[in-house]
Amino acid sequence: MKPYEVLAHTADVGLRFYGKDYEELLRHAALGLFELMTDVQTLHREKSAKQSDFTCSLQAENASELFLSWLRELLFQFATRRLVPTQIDFESLTEKRLQAHLQGPLFDPKRHEQRTEVKAVTYHAYKFEKRPDGYVAEVIFDI
């Protein structure tokens, strides 16, 4: 199963994420979001980049809301700390709560490729679906 695909959108950018289970969906969403903003593979291979980590605890009414909260938290950490996580360890995960430890390099706009500036994770045309073969979510990002 592919991790994500880009959706056609006139003014913003959308991604459709896939996961065989909820954890994989969250991981693929993180990868897709950061790939919009920078060259994740190159940044992850760079040994001289400063490293950082943090623990994320989120709670929501359901899996759909928690998924959006996850993306918003990742975007917030990138905007405020410049963190691009290379390692995500889910310490606990249900469809209503998650606790994860993230670590990885810090993005440096002077040294690393800048792609699309993502301003927000939106509800516009948001879709979240649990299927027999896994999960699918579609998100439009304000750029």
Which tens digits make up the pLDDT trace of 11-23? 799 999 999 999 9
Per residue in 61-72, pLDDT (tens digit) is 999 999 999 999
Handedness of CA 112, 117, 122, 126 (dihedral sign): negative
Specify the amino acid at residue 126: Y
**Prediction pTM value:** 0.93
Per residue in 33-90, pLDDT (tens digit) is 999 999 999 988 887 779 999 999 999 999 999 999 999 999 999 999 999 998 999 9
Q: Give 51's DSSP letter.
A: E
Going by pLDDT thresholds of 50, 70 and 90, the confidence category of residue 136 is: very high
Q: What pLDDT is attached to residue 11?
A: 77
Give, to the nearest 10 degrees, the angle between helix 63-81 and helix 22-37. 30
Q: What pLDDT is attached to residue 26?
A: 98
Handedness of CA 117, 124, 8, 61 (dihedral sign): positive
For 102, half-sphere exposure in the C-beta direction (CA atoms, 13 angstrom radius) is: 24
Distance of CA 58 to the CA centre of its chain: 14
Q: Report helix, strand or coil for 10.
A: coil
Structure tokens at 34: 């950061």
Closest CA to 4 of 127, 142, 143, 137: 137
How far apart are alpha carbons 59 and 17 in whole angstroms?
Answer: 21
Q: Report helix, strand or coil for 47.
A: coil
